[in-house]
Amino acid sequence: MAEFSPDCIFCKIIKGEANSRKIYEDEKILAILDIVPRFAEGQCLIIPKRHVEYFYDLNDDEVARLFKVVKIVANKIEQAFGRGNVAMLARGRTVSHAHIILFPSTGESVLDKFMDSMRAYRILLTEKSSNEDLGFMWEKLTGASSG
């Protein structure tokens, strides 16, 4: 896997070819303030410096380092915004470079409102997954057979 991708905006930021507002940096990870904070003011991106498209393609050491930095930046967000919760996403649809999105969870963010609507929906639904559905999902995830 290539260290950098010439068309990747995160790789350009890591190499200093594009501007960013750094929150944290070490030899393996960069954390920056997101210029398009879709979820909340203070949203940050934690990015491995090696270009990897999918989170699950990071090696174990990279994942460990990435989440150490997630904790560091989460603490910075909490100290700066003092809202009690920091939300985390690992989605990566807008940039094909693995990254974690962290943001203060205010109770008023888009994600908070979505989660509230999902809780309300589940309360109205009041239906748990059937044992058969759970068995099917478990078999898909584990490769085991419920026999």
> Which residues participate in catalysis according to the annotation?
99
Give the DSSP H or E segment for 22. strand 22-25
Count of C-beta atoms within a 10 Å radius of residue 85: 15
Count of C-beta atoms within a 10 Å radius of residue 20: 20
Q: Are 46 and 92 within 8 A, CB to CB?
A: no
